[in-house]
């Protein structure tokens, strides 16, 4: 059962454009939604996160938009840079299960 779905699998944008990565979930008990990025040869690292009490979270060029009713959230990367090229994972946390459930990942390529 895939509880967190992520799209697209692969995304290419030009430098300076806004990259948009999407996720949806099924379990209403999820209470924390982070985004991780992973560079080749490295482990996932926390980028930005949001809780359902908010519908938007910003941190520099990175913004999460959250829609609780539709069970969807997205990551917008403004003014994309070649250094942003990585695999991005959305995730959802359930306190009852004490675990993060990850989406399938989006491989982002930013062309100069």
Partner 1 sequence: ETAVFQTPNYHVTQVGNEVSFNCKQTLGHDTMYWYKQDSKKLLKIMFSYNNKQLIVNETVPRRFSPQSSDKAHLNLRIKSVEPEDSAVYLCASSSWTGPNSDYTFGSGTRLLVI
Burial of residue 35, with CB atoms counted within 10 A of its CB: 0-12 exposed, 13-18 middle, 19 or more buried:
buried
Collapsing DSSP to helix, strand or coil, 112 comes out as: coil
Q: Do residues 4 and 25 lie in contact, with contact meaning Cβ atoms separated by under 8 Å?
A: yes
Span interacting with partner 1, options 14-22, 42-50, 54-62, 70-78, rule CB under 8 A: 42-50
CB of 16 to partner 1, least distance (A): 26
Which CB sits closer to partner 1, 33 or 80? 33
Span interacting with partner 1, options 17-25, 34-42, 57-65, 70-78, rule CB under 8 A: 34-42
Return the residue of 42, 69, 83, 112 that touches partner 1, per CB under 8 A: 42
- Nearest residue to 27 via CA among 5, 60, 53, 57: 5
> Which residues ranging from 80 to 109 are in contact with partner 1 (CB under 8 A)?
87, 89, 93, 97-102, 104-105, 107
Token duo for residue 21 = 């990565």
């Amino acid at each position: 059962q895939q509880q967190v779905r992520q799209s697209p699998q692969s995304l290419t944008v030009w430098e300076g454009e806004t990259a948009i990565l999407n996720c949806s979930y099924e379990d209403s008990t999820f209470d924390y939604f982070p985004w991780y990025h992973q560079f080749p040869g490295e482990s996932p690292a926390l980028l930005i996160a949001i809780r359902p009490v908010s519908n938007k979270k910003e941190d520099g060029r990175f913004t999460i938009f959250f829609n609780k009713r539709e069970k969807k959230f997205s990551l917008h990367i403004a003014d994309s840079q070649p250094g942003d090229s990585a695999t991005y994972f959305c995730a959802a946390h359930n306190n009852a299960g004490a675990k993060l459930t990850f989406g399938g990942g989006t491989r982002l390529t930013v062309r100069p």
